[in-house]
Amino acid sequence: MDRAQCLEMIYPEIKDKLVVTIMGAAAQELYNLGHRENFFYLQHAMGLASSIGLGLALHLPQDRIVVLDGDGSVLMNLGTLTTLARYRPKNLVHIIFDNGSLLSTGGFDSQTTSGITDLAAIARGAGIEHVARADTPLEFGEAVLAAFEREALSVIVAKVRAVGPDHYGMDLELPENAFRFRRHIRERKANRG
């Protein structure tokens, strides 16, 4: 399955959630669907989307946080899975798009390509209870809906093809995106009273 197809499938479901993406293809494909103020595209910080998502989840327990990550990023920061397991934020859904490639940084194979490394098994081994692996769009959709309904930390490893967007380029620089995302969070908190 394609990551772009998965993102299109969940796009209506994340309109009210705070979303952090890793750099590259996932960010561009989400942006191509239509930017929303609740989206933060973590550019130039490979491996840290899950860490930012954890911080948001702990700081904003009333909000649902969704992290859109990649296999290369998770492999660069495997410790994040043990940290997530330790704190178990019940409002965090961590979606890892595993394309077996460092697509956004040259297209080199990652350790998941040959089947040596299984990110779902690592997440379970780290102590995360709710881990799903999705190989088809139906499995992905079911896993995401279950995670969004669950009041518990959830990790979904979606096996996708190593295909990226036709072009890269957002009309939104990181500082502006960070400012607008922060303002969006403040407004959400203020509206709750």
Q: What's residue 23's pLDDT?
A: 84
Q: What's residue 25's pLDDT?
A: 87
Q: What's residue 129's pLDDT?
A: 97
Q: What's residue 109's pLDDT?
A: 54
Distance of CA 161 to the CA centre of its chain: 16
Q: What's residue 107's pLDDT?
A: 55
Mean pLDDT, consecutive 10-residue stretches, the chain (193 aa), reads 96 97 91 97 87 97 97 90 98 93 56 77 97 97 98 97 79 92 95 81
Q: What's residue 52's pLDDT?
A: 96
Q: What's residue 93's pLDDT?
A: 98
Crossing angle (nearest 10°) for helices 79-87 and 49-59: 10
CATH architecture assignment, domain 3-192? 3-Layer(aba) Sandwich (3.40)
How far apart CA 26 and CA 13 sit, in angstroms, is 16
**What is the model's pTM?**
0.93
